Structure formats: structure tokens, C-alpha cells
Chains A and B, each alone.
Chain A
């Protein structure tokens, strides 16, 4: 091995590149940028301003923060529901006036003042909501109008009543407590803000109306199609925003005991900046209350910090504007490109050196030498079928296979001309097996292990196993359950090929070559699934040995077959019985003469084997070329291989023409015939096996019955 190759091995096998991609699949990574901005802002102004972290200063800043973040919470909700609310500042000011005037002019109790503020907010929110939700007006223009009108009304009221409020002699302890009091050193407004944020968070993530709002924001039409009352939801989001502004307005009224021309001025700009800088998407549907809160802190610290550092209003507004612009650009670019970044980062190939193999060329004279025997099959379901990954026959000789449409199709004996949809699974049915009672079991791609009753009802047996502690992407979920077989005691042994990719991306797994395949067992008595073995390169076909003491399973991308011992001295361990084959093994099934059939889904090529030793090459290939151009193993030629109990190759069948069975993923012997399936094929082939026992069936072999 050259030094370069050795280095590649270290570099790609020891550095866990795949973790970056796995972390990026997490939605919480969206919070990373606003969180970083938050830390930088607080740290920056904390060091620039003396006494920034002093308790008295903090109390003053956090009190402002309380009122402000309540407004931001309301605005965040509107944005999550796909709208925008520019009128928060006006509503805030009017609510302040409502509270102040009820207490100081009309001498009403404080709770009436609170109610007045909230009602004012709710009323204006309702106007917005009605116009936008029910009348279907544009959110931006509508709230701009309410903003202008609200502000105008407020200005008129303040001019006429300011003097009256200022000269009022009314005092109230409750009022002053709300304005200045603290509980455990925390201002009332901060407590209110925290309570509202928690409530809003729970409502959005755990309650039906909250999820409806996110759904409407994510896609209005889809939400409508799934039965959500879109108009009502939109209406409610504005009402909630109005109420939040109302509460904030009441709190500031208590703190300042008055209302002036400056109340709530430019608040909408601050709040909008906060919500967007926090990372809430302007397009709706993506974001959270926590993001809004982070944004509120960033904006307020920035705003107050700049004032305390002596910068004027102009600079302040300029910084806010620039922040908003940066956040909007980032939001749009990130949303648009996130999946691209993920695609490019996710595939993280590793170094793997395949062993020297015997040739499979027809004239090579090796046991693997391919011929043309399965090109001469009779076709079943040609043109009707799409993607029979596995095939199986029941005790009445009917033929079953999965299709890529998620169905299990049954062809009727004896001529297999007529067919019906036996069951619909919704996933891609891959491996098939019958248990002792004649229930059909299937590994359904991307879904799990299913049992299909004789009447064709699918029932999930297992969709998860135990999670590995170190896993980042949840590997408890069965991502690519592939093939299964049933032991005499009824336990179902099956493989989950990879934890890195979904079933339809199986080829990407071959390019990556990371060993994440597993062998699992499902116990029907307890209903539990256990992981027996892990870290195989695409664990695939499973087959019980004839004596039931062990099972064979295929490791596709390593071109190996292993034996896992169920009984005897080696119970619970696996050993490799066939290695370095020239083809990639898929399903394994019993043969009538006491040996085993194994499907080859494709053939190794020198160029791909070399690429496996060049992980950097494969990584760059996936990034620089579109997927159609990627180098693959040669899966246009497959075959069927027969091996005996010791792993010796007995014979090999092939289709060199590539017209009948280019890729073989399964084969099943039944009464002297071999039924051949392929996941990318549009037919099942029926091949008469010379000299095979014409009475032998899987049911007899497994259960000793021919019922």
C-alpha cells in the first residue's frame, strides 16, 4: 500500500466526516446562527460598556426587554402563520393610552385598565385578522394601513388628553407594583414575558391550533387541503398578536404612568428586526418563540448599547436596517440552499480495499463464470410488474411479489397469467417470507417489518430497535429493512441494510461504503426487536440454514456471505463463509438439494473497486457531478449463484444479454422451477432447473408441511 493510500485510509476512516451531515439534518441547527449572533452581541457590548452586567443596569435592561419581547412573541406568531404585522407599534401605543386613560381619567380599577388595554389590542388585531384572513387582503398593506390609522388616532388622543392624564391625582398601589415591583428580584414585566413565551411555545409545538398555525404558514394550500380552517387560523394569529401588544402596552403604562407622543414609536421596526434576526422565516412556517426571544435580546442590547455608547438615532436605525437586511438575505439563501448544502456534505465516503476476486467472465473457468442460462426464462407479469425485489410462492403455488408502487401482487397458479393486488403496504415491499401459519411477512423498505394476513391486511410488527447511544441520527428507526427469514421457533431474523440512507438511496450507500448494516431479530412472543450484529456494508439477504442451527446473511458492498450461529458452541457469533466474490450478493434462499441460492444484484468493476480506495475521488464526484453521472457498480449484469453448506460455489447462472434479468435481487425455488426477481426489472422469470426435485417447496423445507 502506498503512503498516499495509507494516508487516505487514515484521513477518511478516522475523521468522522459523516457527523457534519448528520448534525445538519437536525432542525435545531437553524438556531446556530442567531445564537452565535446573540453571544457576540452580548459579549461585545458587555465589554464595550462599563457596568453592563451590574445588577441595577441589568434590571433596567431586562424590564424593557420584558415588554419588548412580548410584542416580538406576538409578531413571531403572526410570522409563523405566514403573515406580517406592522401595526404592533400603534396597537401598543393605543393600548397604553387605553390603560392610562381608564385609570387616570375615569378613575377605574387597575384590572379594568388591563382589560381595556387587552381589548384594544384584541380589537385592532381582529380588524387586521378580518381583513387579511377573511377578506384576503395583503398582510403587508393592511397592517400598514392599521399602523397609520392607529398612530393617527393615538396622536389625536394624546394631544387632547395628555394634560388631563398628567394632572390626574389618582394613585394605585397595584398599578405602581406592576410598574416598579419585583418578585424575587425579577420585574413583573419580565415574569409576564417569560410566562407568555412559555405558553406560546407550548401552544405552538404541542397544541392543535398552534400546529395549525405552523401548517398554514408552511403551506397555505396544503393546510387547506388537509382540512385546516385557514382563514380562521390566520384571523386568530393577528388577534393573538394584538393581545400581546395590548399586554405589553399595559405593562409600559404601569411603568411610565403616562402616555406621550414617543410611546411605541418605531416599535414595529424593532420588533420586526428582532423576529427576523432571531431566525424566523419571513415566508412563514419556520421559526420558534425561542428564536423570537433571541432576536429580541439581540436587538434590544444592540439598540440600548449603541445609545449608551453615544451614537445618535441615525446610526442606531442604520445598524438595525443593516441587521435586518443581513438576516433576510441569510434567511432566504439558507432556506433555498440548505438541502443543497446537506446533499453535498452528507455523502462522506470511506476508504475500502476490496479483496482480489476470481473472474466471472464466461470463459474464465472459475466457479463464478457467468453463462446465459437465466436469459431463457418464461416471463411472468411482463409489462404489468414494476420492481419485484423478492418473490415467494405459497402452499397453493400462487406467486407473490412486491412492487415499487407499494403493493404485494399475487399471481395465480398454474399459469401465472392472472394477478390481483393482494395487499397494499404503502412502502416498497422487499424481502418476503411465510411463517408456519402461512402468514406472509415482509420487510417494507423505509417502513419496517410487516405481517400480511391471508385476507391481505398489513400489520406492522416492528419499526424500531434500540437506539445506539452515540448515534446522532436516530438509528432506532428501521431505515432500510431488506430481507428476512423465519426460524423454527417463530422468531424473525431480518436485516436493516443501512442507517445512513433511505431505501431508495441505496446506491448512495454503495458510493459511501460506510458499514452501518445490521442483523436484527423480532420475537413475536414479546413483540420486541433486538439488534444482533451491526457494522456491515449493506446487510442484505437472510436465509435459515437447512438444519435451522444457523443462518446465512449477505453483506452486499463487501461481496461477502456470513453465517450467524443460533445454536451450538458458536451461538451468537458470526463468521464469514464466502468472501471476495466478483458480484454483489442480495437475497439468499434454500435450494432443493440442500444447498442455497444467492442472487447477485450486480458485478464488481475494476474502476469502481479502485474508486473505493479513493474516498476523496468519490466525495468530489458526488459534489461536482449530478447523480445521473456517478460511477456505480455494474448493476446491469447480475446472476444467481448456488453455494453449499460450507460456502463452496456449486454453480452460477447469468444473463449476459442483459435483456431478461440484468439485475437479480432474488430467486425462489418451487417445484422444480426457479423464480427470478429484480428490483429494477419489470418481470419475474421462471426457469426450469434441470434435475431439481419437482415436489420440493419452501413450505415443506421449512415446516415439513405441504398444506
Chain B
């Protein structure tokens, strides 16, 4: 109604979020997906010479092995591999190191969230925040920071260039060299943006996502696979507008018990609960508001969502942080569910 803006002053403006509808219509495909492996917080998965490799805590594992290929001093936050097999590793303590080859570590990146090679020499780096480490992402969100940046490093010359600043936690990255751009997922702004490779203003290509986007990878058919690591939640969005409460919460409460998105389904009774999430007659409603969710979205080449795979509020395969196409299926890491899953798209479309 025409008077709504006026009335909102009196009654308070409703907090709304985009609905999961259309291509994002919920299903249980992640809950029904095959388990490839159980391990502690699997994070970044990638394919190295047709073999699957993933990070978990401080280690890099091959998919079919329980023994680490490599271990580091600090948690691994990002992985990338170039055509000659050199693996770039982002660390939670800051900096990027290289496995194989004799490339010196790159300092100065306090929050590497995702890495991508373009060819053998060009490395693109998303630095999620200029104040927090990658594992402190929740604090970065609750402080409403936007100190993320996108960098290009030439491994041959060692030259580094900042392509974009003031990004809100860039968490996913895919190089679209043929169009001279890089696609970055800006988590706290719930969108994908396109940034020219020579640097410049980010331009949204997909906005108003129903969750916080994480990593994005390319499909062989030309589309993309986007992971959303947590759902948007109206209570959380409301808390983001409540400065006094939020600041007190950040100051007084253990970060595990914040009203903030979470990678894993509720594990402790000290975590906040919303009315809709109350178990009634033995049932946890799958559509209830939740701080965690499992969601993978397939995008077409124009970044429009085509299909999606869900683990809903009553599931546990939450916190999907990376997914890649592999042998006709999608392999995804559920960081909150401590699982690596294989989703077969045909099964859902049948």
C-alpha cells in the first residue's frame, strides 16, 4: 500500500529474504546422496590429474586414502592446482604456500578463501577479509565487514595486483578468461559479481541468493556449480540490524552460540533456537528456519540457476563449501556434516 513506508516507522519494517523457489525448490537430494568418505570438516575439493584431492583441517588427502598427501602448520582454507600439477594452498594463519615446484610462499594474505589458476603462471586469490582469518568468518559477517579483495599474482614475475577491494567476503572464484573477467561470489552480499581481469568495478551477475555463496566451479558443459554454505535467515538478518544486541553478543557470547549462520546442524543445547525449529510430536520440520543448510545450485552459462540439491533443516549434510563435476556426478564436501558426497543429477530429474 502507498502508506506502507509511513506505517513501517510505527510498526517496524518486516525483515524478508528471497524464497527458495523455482530452480531452488527444496528437495532431499543431498540427504539421499551417496557418501564417498567420512572425514573431519572436508573443505576444498578439486581434481588433480583426474584424481580427487581435498583438504581437511591441516591436511590434504586423496579421495581414496586416509593418509594425508601433505600436512601444514595451520588449517587449510583454499586449494588450487595448475596444469603442471603445482598445488597452491591457502592457510588460515595467513599466506599461500605451494606444494611441488620451487615457488616462494606468498605473504600478506590474512584470509585466503579461494584460489584459482589461469594457465600455469597466473594465480587469482580471494582474500575474504582484511581483519579476520578464514575460520573467523562468522565474526566478519556479524561485524558487517566488507574488507575482502581480489588479487592477481603472476608467479613468473612475482608481481601482484589488486583487482577489486571492499568486497564482502569473496569466497568463490572462477576465471572466465575468454570474456576477460573473473566471477567472484560475495558471500555477505549474497551475490555473484563479475570483475574485469585488469581490475575495475564489480558488476553483479546473480543477486538475491537465498544463502551465503561459497565456492563456484565450472562444468564441462559450460555452466557452473555454486555452493551455498549457509542459508539466509530472517532472525540473523534482523540481528544484523540490531547493533546493540549484536555488539553485546559478539562481546559476551562464545562464537559457537551466536545468532549467526553455521556450517553444521545444531549440536548443542546452548545454540539459539527459533520457534519454527521446535521439535513437535517427534518431528523437526524440514522447512523450519535454520542457521545451517546444505545447498548446491547448478547455474547455466549466464549464471541463471537451473537445478539445486538440498539438505534441509532436518538434515545434517550442511555447510557445503565446495563441489566439482566429476565423472558425470557432482562431488561435494559437506564441511558441517563431515562427509564427502556424490550427487547424481539424473536421479533427481527422473
Which residue numbers of A lie inside 8 Å of B, CB to CB? 4, 344, 360-361, 370, 386-387, 507, 603, 605-608, 610-611, 613-614, 616-617, 620-621, 623-637, 656, 658-659, 662-663, 680-683
User: Closest CB-CB distance, B229 to chain A, in whole Å?
Assistant: 20
Alpha-carbon distance between A386 and B282 when the two chains are bound, in angstroms:
10
Please tell me which one of the listed residues B235, B273, B279, B281 contacts residue A605 in the complex, with CB atoms under 8 A apart. Answer: B273
A-B contact pairs, 6 of them (CB 8 A): A605-B269, A610-B253, A621-B235, A624-B15, A636-B266, A636-B284
The reply to whether A608 and B272 form a contact with Cβ atoms under 8 Å apart is: yes
Alpha-carbon distance between A625 and B239 when the two chains are bound, in angstroms:
11
* Known pairs A361-B268, A617-B242, A628-B275 / 15 extra A-B pairs, C-beta < 8 Å: A386-B281, A605-B269, A605-B273, A614-B242, A624-B14, A624-B15, A625-B235, A626-B234, A629-B275, A635-B278, A636-B277, A636-B278, A656-B269, A662-B279, A680-B279
The reply to whether B282 and A605 form a contact with Cβ atoms under 8 Å apart is: no
Please tell me which one of the listed residues B238, B268, B270, B274 contacts residue A624 in the complex, with CB atoms under 8 A apart. Answer: B238
The reply to whether A624 and B13 form a contact with Cβ atoms under 8 Å apart is: yes
The reply to whether B273 and A614 form a contact with Cβ atoms under 8 Å apart is: no
Alpha-carbon distance between A621 and B11 when the two chains are bound, in angstroms:
11
Q: Is B259 an interface residue (CB 8 A)?
A: yes
User: Closest CB-CB distance, A445 to chain B, in whole Å?
Assistant: 16
The residue in chain A whose Cβ has the minimal distance to the Cβ of B288 is A628
The residue in chain A whose Cβ has the minimal distance to the Cβ of B251 is A610
Known contacts A629-B276, A629-B289; decide if A637 and B269 are in contact (CB<8 Å).
yes
Please tell me which one of the listed residues A628, A658, A682 contacts residue B289 in the complex, with CB atoms under 8 A apart. Answer: A628
Q: List residues of chain B with CB within 8 A of the CB of A507.
A: 275
Known contacts A386-B281, A634-B271; decide if A610 and B248 are in contact (CB<8 Å).
yes
Alpha-carbon distance between A662 and B233 when the two chains are bound, in angstroms:
23
Please tell me which one of the listed residues A603, A608, A616, A681 contacts residue B281 in the complex, with CB atoms under 8 A apart. Answer: A681
The reply to whether B274 and A636 form a contact with Cβ atoms under 8 Å apart is: no
Alpha-carbon distance between A626 and B253 when the two chains are bound, in angstroms:
25
The residue in chain A whose Cβ has the minimal distance to the Cβ of B266 is A636
**CB proximity to A under 8 Å, residues B104-161:** none
Interface string of B240-261 (1 = CB under 8 A from A): 0010110011001110011100
Alpha-carbon distance between A628 and B282 when the two chains are bound, in angstroms:
18
User: Closest CB-CB distance, A330 to chain B, in whole Å?
Assistant: 13
Alpha-carbon distance between A607 and B252 when the two chains are bound, in angstroms:
10
Q: Is B280 an interface residue (CB 8 A)?
A: yes
The residue in chain A whose Cβ has the minimal distance to the Cβ of B279 is A662
Alpha-carbon distance between A625 and B233 when the two chains are bound, in angstroms:
11
The reply to whether A606 and B253 form a contact with Cβ atoms under 8 Å apart is: yes
Q: Is B12 an interface residue (CB 8 A)?
A: yes
The reply to whether A623 and B12 form a contact with Cβ atoms under 8 Å apart is: yes
The residue in chain A whose Cβ has the minimal distance to the Cβ of B278 is A635
Alpha-carbon distance between A163 and B277 when the two chains are bound, in angstroms:
83
User: Closest CB-CB distance, B151 to chain A, in whole Å?
Assistant: 36
The reply to whether B244 and A621 form a contact with Cβ atoms under 8 Å apart is: no
Please tell me which one of the listed residues A614, A628, A634, A662 contacts residue B270 in the complex, with CB atoms under 8 A apart. Answer: A634
The reply to whether B249 and A632 form a contact with Cβ atoms under 8 Å apart is: no
Alpha-carbon distance between A627 and B289 when the two chains are bound, in angstroms:
11
The residue in chain B whose Cβ has the minimal distance to the Cβ of A379 is B282
Alpha-carbon distance between A624 and B13 when the two chains are bound, in angstroms:
6
Please tell me which one of the listed residues B234, B273, B280 contacts residue A633 in the complex, with CB atoms under 8 A apart. Answer: B273
Please tell me which one of the listed residues A360, A616, A617, A632 contacts residue B269 in the complex, with CB atoms under 8 A apart. Answer: A360
A-B pairs, 9 with minimum CB distance: A628-B276, A637-B269, A623-B12, A682-B281, A607-B272, A603-B269, A624-B12, A606-B253, A634-B273
Alpha-carbon distance between A630 and B278 when the two chains are bound, in angstroms:
11
Alpha-carbon distance between A603 and B271 when the two chains are bound, in angstroms:
10
Q: List residues of chain A with CB within 8 A of the CB of B288.
A: 628
Alpha-carbon distance between A613 and B279 when the two chains are bound, in angstroms:
26
User: Closest CB-CB distance, A684 to chain B, in whole Å?
Assistant: 12
The reply to whether A610 and B252 form a contact with Cβ atoms under 8 Å apart is: yes
How many chain B residues have a CB neighbour from A under 8 Å?
39
The reply to whether B279 and A658 form a contact with Cβ atoms under 8 Å apart is: yes
Q: List residues of chain A with CB within 8 A of the CB of B252.
A: 606, 610
The reply to whether A627 and B11 form a contact with Cβ atoms under 8 Å apart is: no
Please tell me which one of the listed residues B234, B245, B276, B278 contacts residue A611 in the complex, with CB atoms under 8 A apart. Answer: B245
User: Closest CB-CB distance, B30 to chain A, in whole Å?
Assistant: 21
Known contacts A344-B11, A680-B280; decide if A605 and B274 are in contact (CB<8 Å).
no
Q: List residues of chain A with CB within 8 A of the CB of B284.
A: 636
Alpha-carbon distance between A682 and B283 when the two chains are bound, in angstroms:
9
Q: List residues of chain B with CB within 8 A of the CB of A624.
A: 12-15, 238
The residue in chain B whose Cβ has the minimal distance to the Cβ of A404 is B281
The residue in chain B whose Cβ has the minimal distance to the Cβ of A359 is B270
Q: List residues of chain B with CB within 8 A of the CB of A634.
A: 269-273
Known contacts A610-B249, A624-B15, A682-B282; decide if A629 and B234 are in contact (CB<8 Å).
yes
User: Closest CB-CB distance, A487 to chain B, in whole Å?
Assistant: 35
Q: List residues of chain A with CB within 8 A of the CB of B244.
A: 4, 614, 616-617
Q: List residues of chain B with CB within 8 A of the CB of A387.
A: 281
Q: List residues of chain A with CB within 8 A of the CB of B278.
A: 632, 635-636, 663, 680
Q: List residues of chain B with CB within 8 A of the CB of A635.
A: 273, 278
Alpha-carbon distance between A603 and B257 when the two chains are bound, in angstroms:
13
Please tell me which one of the listed residues A614, A631, A662 contacts residue B272 in the complex, with CB atoms under 8 A apart. Answer: A631
Alpha-carbon distance between A630 and B272 when the two chains are bound, in angstroms:
10
Known contacts A607-B258, A621-B238; decide if A629 and B274 are in contact (CB<8 Å).
yes
The reply to whether A605 and B275 form a contact with Cβ atoms under 8 Å apart is: no
The residue in chain A whose Cβ has the minimal distance to the Cβ of B277 is A636
Q: List residues of chain A with CB within 8 A of the CB of B280.
A: 680
Q: List residues of chain A with CB within 8 A of the CB of B281.
A: 386-387, 680-682
The residue in chain B whose Cβ has the minimal distance to the Cβ of A679 is B280
Q: List residues of chain A with CB within 8 A of the CB of B13.
A: 624
Alpha-carbon distance between A601 and B276 when the two chains are bound, in angstroms:
17
Q: List residues of chain A with CB within 8 A of the CB of B257.
A: 605-607
Alpha-carbon distance between A608 and B280 when the two chains are bound, in angstroms:
20
The residue in chain B whose Cβ has the minimal distance to the Cβ of A624 is B12
The reply to whether A617 and B245 form a contact with Cβ atoms under 8 Å apart is: yes
The residue in chain A whose Cβ has the minimal distance to the Cβ of B257 is A606
The residue in chain B whose Cβ has the minimal distance to the Cβ of A611 is B245
Known contacts A606-B252, A624-B15, A624-B238; decide if A663 and B272 are in contact (CB<8 Å).
no
Q: List residues of chain A with CB within 8 A of the CB of B266.
A: 636
Alpha-carbon distance between A603 and B284 when the two chains are bound, in angstroms:
17
Please tell me which one of the listed residues A625, A627, A637, A662 contacts residue B15 in the complex, with CB atoms under 8 A apart. Answer: A625
Alpha-carbon distance between A682 and B244 when the two chains are bound, in angstroms:
40
Most buried by B among A387, A632, A659: A632
Alpha-carbon distance between A469 and B175 when the two chains are bound, in angstroms:
74
Please tell me which one of the listed residues B14, B249, B277, B279 contacts residue A607 in the complex, with CB atoms under 8 A apart. Answer: B249
Q: List residues of chain B with CB within 8 A of the CB of A625.
A: 14-15, 234-235, 238
Interface string of B12-31 (1 = CB under 8 A from A): 11110000000000000000
The reply to whether A603 and B270 form a contact with Cβ atoms under 8 Å apart is: yes
Q: List residues of chain A with CB within 8 A of the CB of B254.
A: 606
The reply to whether B235 and A629 form a contact with Cβ atoms under 8 Å apart is: yes
The reply to whether B279 and A663 form a contact with Cβ atoms under 8 Å apart is: yes
Known contacts A614-B248, A620-B12, A636-B277; decide if A605 and B242 are in contact (CB<8 Å).
no
User: Closest CB-CB distance, B292 to chain A, in whole Å?
Assistant: 14
The reply to whether A636 and B273 form a contact with Cβ atoms under 8 Å apart is: yes
Q: List residues of chain B with CB within 8 A of the CB of A617.
A: 242, 244-245
The reply to whether B235 and A631 form a contact with Cβ atoms under 8 Å apart is: yes
Alpha-carbon distance between A635 and B280 when the two chains are bound, in angstroms:
10
Alpha-carbon distance between A682 and B284 when the two chains are bound, in angstroms:
13
Alpha-carbon distance between A606 and B259 when the two chains are bound, in angstroms:
10
The residue in chain B whose Cβ has the minimal distance to the Cβ of A660 is B282
The reply to whether B253 and A607 form a contact with Cβ atoms under 8 Å apart is: yes
Alpha-carbon distance between A614 and B244 when the two chains are bound, in angstroms:
8
The residue in chain B whose Cβ has the minimal distance to the Cβ of A341 is B11
The residue in chain B whose Cβ has the minimal distance to the Cβ of A617 is B245
User: Closest CB-CB distance, A246 to chain B, in whole Å?
Assistant: 44
Most buried by A among B276, B278, B282, B284: B282
User: Closest CB-CB distance, B32 to chain A, in whole Å?
Assistant: 20
User: Closest CB-CB distance, B314 to chain A, in whole Å?
Assistant: 11
Q: List residues of chain B with CB within 8 A of the CB of A611.
A: 245
User: Closest CB-CB distance, B315 to chain A, in whole Å?
Assistant: 15
